[in-house]
Amino acid sequence: MNLALLKNGMKSIDTSSLVDKVEDSLVELLKERKLSVGDVIPKEIELAETLGVSRTVIREALTRLRLLGLIESKKKKGSVITSPDLFGMMSKSMNPHILDQDTLKEIFEIRLVLEIGMADLLFHRITKEDISELRNIVSNEPPATQYHLFNVEHEIAFHGKLYEITGNETLKKFQKMLLPVFDYVHHSGLLKKQPLLKMFVSHTELVSILENGTPEEFRNGMRNHLENHFKRIFDL
């Protein structure tokens, strides 16, 4: 028999396991029943009957959902739906030592997008006390020059405070998760020699913009400020 004809006549084989399929079916079932955080999910035996599989398969699929943080076991209640800790799960795989250079660079791009994009949140939520704290942070930094534009510890302190000011807990968790990556990139040798920039917006100048400027001025200032880092790993 012609091999090409044989291949054309064969249907593609579904290689996903029964547990994979049941896991997906369970998620869809919870959506269909419009269950939300705190709701108790059906018992194993009911799920097994509904999906037409054994309780062993249901049990393994539920274990996977627990590992994903979608459900948890409660005494006297059974399994309930939870709000998953997305960054807790991601942080377990966010090991800079096992990420390739392209991924590390893309994570740096995420920082650029986040810190330029948080301008409106900062101007909406910043207080006089926040300005004072930022002033205190920059007072401990050495003057920025073309030859020494930043220090990792100072970067973490200043930019960490900006994330805090946003009041967005998800943003703060995201920044905390990415800190090991930033630290690794700065110390790994991936960064090239310091570029010489004719214009550089310092932390002190960013604070002045937050105090007296506009969100658009801050976006432009932050873009200029971060350009130093990105010129060392990208051709900007």
Domain region containing 65: 3-84
Q: Are residues 118 and 43 in the same domain?
A: no
163 domain-assigned = yes
CATH assignment at residue 39: 1.10.10.10
Q: Are residues 102 and 213 in the same domain?
A: yes
Question: How confident is residue 194, by pLDDT bands cut at 50, 70 and 90?
Answer: low
Q: Are residues 148 and 215 in the same domain?
A: yes
CA within 13 Å, CB half, 201: 17
Q: Give tens-digit pLDDT for 71-86.
A: 998 888 889 999 887 7
Percent of the chain residues topping a pLDDT of 90: 42
Helix (H, G, I), strand (E, B) or coil at 73: strand
Q: Does this model's pTM top 0.75?
A: no
Q: Are residues 59 and 118 in the same domain?
A: no
Q: Are residues 121 and 213 in the same domain?
A: yes
Domain boundary among the residues 84, 113, 137 is at 84
- Span of 78-87, 153-162, 189-198 with lowest mean pLDDT: 189-198
Residue type, 192: K
Total domains in the chain come to: 2
Q: Give tens-digit pLDDT for 98-146.
A: 778 788 778 888 888 899 999 999 999 999 999 999 999 999 887 665 4
Residue 176: the pLDDT is 84
Q: Are residues 149 and 74 in the same domain?
A: no
CATH assignment at residue 101: 1.20.120.530
- For residue 87, the Cα-to-chain-centroid distance in whole angstroms is 6
Retrieve residue 84's tokens: 């998953």
Question: How confident is residue 236, by pLDDT bands cut at 50, 70 and 90?
Answer: very low
Contact 66, 72 (CB under 8 A): yes
Please give the mean pLDDT across all residues of the chain. Answer: 81
Q: Are residues 125 and 78 in the same domain?
A: no
Tell me the CA distances in angstroms from 219 to 112, 118, 133, one per residue in order.
10, 8, 21
Cα separation of 47 and 53, whole Å?
A: 8
236 domain-assigned = no
Q: Are residues 95 and 186 in the same domain?
A: yes
Torsion sign across C-alpha atoms 122, 125, 128, 130: negative
Q: Are residues 69 and 101 in the same domain?
A: no
